[in-house]
Amino acid sequence: MSEIPPIISPRPPAPPCRPGFAGALRGVWLMTWRSQLSLRKLPGQLAALLVLPFLVYITMVSPATWAKRHVSLGDPAQELNSLAKRLKRAQISLPPKTMEDLRRALAEVNDQSETAWREQSGESAEQRRKRLDDHVAEWDGRILSRAKAVLDERQYAEFQVVQQRTRDNALRRLTEVSLPWGRTEPFYHWLIGFYFFIILPLTCVRYCGPLIRDELQADTLGFLITRPVGRARLLIAKYLAQVAWLEIILLLETLLLFAAGAARHIPDLGVLLPLVLGVQILVVPAWSALGLLLGQITTRYMAGALLYGAVVEMGIGRIPTNINTISLIRHLETLLSQNSALQSALALEKGETATAIGALLVAPVIFLAAAALLFRLVEYHHAAEMQK
């Protein structure tokens, strides 16, 4: 009887020894969000996200409060009290009937002038200042004219001194609340001038600068680069995972800022939000790639970012020649100037939209390519890095 040969099951295919780029990216992404979104870090992250929206909310006023605050030209009762004290020191009498007539005249002129003053949308700071100066000068002239008809020569001379002080106080008070800020302008300065042009780029540099430096400090870079994934692929995978995380975090921050603006009744936020989010999606990869490159160049990447901002963004970017096109902030201003409220409040210069979008798409490619090239060419040593 012939023996039946044993059935040999086919061997399973061997797993690939080289993980693809997608697999490497997936692994880096899992490590990124799991390490960031931990219960230990969550309270601090939520608190950090709420700081700026809280500042926006407390530094702005409601429309009702603003309406009462920015049209006040003075208190007739307080002005008359000051006049009475001056007249008493100068031993000049002021009959009750004269005092009452003057009080009535001051109240009428103040009410009329305060009602006539209204905030105008789309007005530049210079235009508003001139209109404000003209308005206060006209109000002051009417006050003096009415007072001169009521008071005698000596009384009027003392009143002019009091009125001059009242006029200066009214002009300063109106200037403080109306120039260069309107009621809504602080929101735009917080959102764009502070958050978009300062906090957002520094946040990207802070998170992407140490992507390789952290591995050196932990002495894990040698393990990572012995894996089948090459150096350039490893760097790009870490960059893409960190950018995805930053887009999520900064999206939440922007939504919280707009929620604070909505609580203060900022108009037309629904039109502004898509523009801001679209520009933010474009610029986060650019700032992050810059941070990654600075992290490859120096351990003091935050100082490098500040130097870059001072020289390139604030220096070269303000030169009125074609060289200013290397400034990322200038291209951001071009895109954000499409919104009329931002353009008026921040005096943004308009430019070619297609050029600005192209620059923001090319910038991360250049920065990332330079960082990858450095990572491939430079040999890093843990002991040497720990001494820096």
Q: What is the pLDDT along the chain (388 residues), one digit of tens a residue?
A: 455 655 555 666 655 555 567 776 777 777 777 777 777 888 888 898 999 999 999 888 777 666 555 556 778 888 889 888 988 898 888 888 988 999 999 989 988 887 777 655 556 667 777 888 888 899 999 999 999 998 999 999 999 999 999 888 888 777 655 544 467 888 998 999 999 999 999 999 999 988 877 666 555 665 555 555 677 788 888 899 899 999 999 999 999 999 999 998 888 899 999 999 999 999 999 999 999 999 888 888 999 999 999 999 988 888 878 888 889 999 999 999 988 888 877 878 788 899 999 999 999 999 999 998 988 877 665 555 555 5
| Whether the Cβ atoms of residue 208 and residue 249 lie closer than 8 Å to each other | no
Q: Give φ, ψ of 383 to 5 degrees.
A: -65, -45
Structure tokens at 127: 């235009």
The answer to whether the bond into 180 is cis (omega within 30° of 0) is: yes
pLDDT of residue 307: 94
CA atoms within 13 A on the CB side of 75: 5
Output the CA–CA distances (angstroms, integers) from residue 39 to 49, 69, 80, 187, 203, in the order listed. 16, 45, 63, 32, 21
CB under 8 Å to 58, separation ≥6 — which residues?
none
What whole-number distance in Å separates Cα of residue 279 and Cα of residue 292?
Answer: 20
DSSP string, 117-185: ----TT--HHHHHHHHHHHHHHHHHHHHHHHHHHS-HHHHHHHHHHHHHHHHHHHHHHHHHHSS--SSH
How many residues are there in the chain?
A: 388
| Residue (of 238, 216, 119) closest to 174 by Cα position | 119
Question: Considering only CA atoms, which of 331, 342, 328, 200 is closest in space to residue 271?
Answer: 342
CA-CA distance, 45 to 43, in Å (whole number)? 5
Tokens of 85: 């004290």
Rounded distance between C-alpha atoms, residue 256 and residue 235, angstroms: 32
pLDDT of amino acid 160: 92
Q: How far apart are the first and last CA of the chain?
A: 80
Look at residue 60 in the predicted model and tell me its pLDDT. 85
Q: Which of 313, 309, 305, 290 is nearest to 364 (CA)?
A: 290
pTM: 0.68
Residue 250 has a pLDDT of 95
| Nearby residues of 63 by Cβ (< 8 Å), 6 or more positions away | 183, 265
Residue 180: predicted pLDDT: 44
Return the DSSP state at 327: -
Q: Residues with Cβ < 8 Å from 386, sequence gap 6 or more?
A: 217
Residue 265 is encoded by which pair of tokens?
A: 């009744």
- Tokens matching residue 357: 């979008």
Nearest to 244 by CA among 204, 297, 274: 204
Distance, CA of 80 to chain centre? 45
- List Cα–Cα distances, 333 to 115, 134, 192, 338, in angstroms: 36, 32, 9, 9
DSSP per position, 204-234: HHHHHTHHHHHHHHTT-HHHHHTSSS-HHHH
**What is the spatial distance between Cα 91 and Cα 85, in angstroms, rounded to a whole number?**
10
Note the pLDDT of residue 220: 61
